[in-house]
């Protein structure tokens, strides 16, 4: 993870929880029906070929791929925040709210 994300988000439990929730909703919204739309788009292209690509299927395919990658990035953020919160809850010796410095 980038250092700024660790220092800004993961060092604060309350902010990790908020970012975890936001990442969960972004991942859910981005991945909802993504596979159905990709399948429909590829079926359209296979069925109608170049005409479908010229009518916007190529642009839609690009947008679906970008949505997929954004959903994947949201999932990675979700898992990082989940890891931080799970270790905070499970470790009774962690009395402070900051992560250890890795220098």
Q: Is the pLDDT reported for residue 103 higher than 70?
A: no
Q: Is the pTM of this model over 0.75?
A: no
The two tokens of residue 12 are 């604060």
Q: Is the pLDDT reported for residue 101 higher than 60?
A: no
Say if CB 76 and CB 35 are below 8 A apart.
Answer: no
pLDDT score at 21: 93
Q: Where are the domains of the chain?
A: 3-89
Nearest to 15 by CA among 98, 91, 101, 103: 98
Q: Is the pLDDT reported for residue 1 higher than 60?
A: yes
pLDDT tens-digit profile of 31-77? 887 888 999 999 999 999 999 999 999 999 999 999 999 999 999 99
Query: Can you give the length of the chain in residues?
Result: 103
Q: Confidence class of residue 94 from pLDDT cuts 50, 70 and 90?
A: low
Instruction: State the Cα angle at 92 between 88 and 98, rounded to 5°.
Output: 45
């Amino acid at each position: 993870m980038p250092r700024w994300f660790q220092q800004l988000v993961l060092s604060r439990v309350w902010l990790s929880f908020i970012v975890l929730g936001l990442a969960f909703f972004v991942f859910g919204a981005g991945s909802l029906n993504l596979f159905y739309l990709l399948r429909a788009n590829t079926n359209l292209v296979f069925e109608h070929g170049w005409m479908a690509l010229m009518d916007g299927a190529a642009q839609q395919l690009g947008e679906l791929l970008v949505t997929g990658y954004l959903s994947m990035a949201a999932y990675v953020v979700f898992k990082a925040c989940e890891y931080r919160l799970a270790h905070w809850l499970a470790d009774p010796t962690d009395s402070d709210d900051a992560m250890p410095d890795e220098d």
